[in-house]
Amino acid sequence: MKDEVVPYYIIANEITNLKDIYSLCSGLLLSNPSKKNLQTCNLVSNKIKEKTTQIKETCPHIYFYTKYIKF
């Protein structure tokens, strides 16, 4: 599990950044709904899903503890 700590924090930080971007994007989408803004939000959402899958594959033990035990 100790081998998973560094990759986990790197990926988790990337997810946090993407979530911030998604918040900004969704605000922009509410104020200016356009196809381009919708596509951008969908792109960011897909990136978040990819990173979540990457955590599940790269750090299965930490993912289990953070998902199911919630310490």
Cβ atoms < 10 Å from Cβ of 25: 19
Per DSSP, the residues of 34-60 read -HHHHHHHHHHHHHHHHHHHHHHHH-H
pTM (2 decimals)?
A: 0.84
Domain ranges of the chain: 2-69
pLDDT tens per residue, range 8-50? 999 999 999 999 999 999 999 999 999 999 999 999 999 999 9
CB burial class (10 A; 0-12, 13-18, 19+) of residue 18? buried
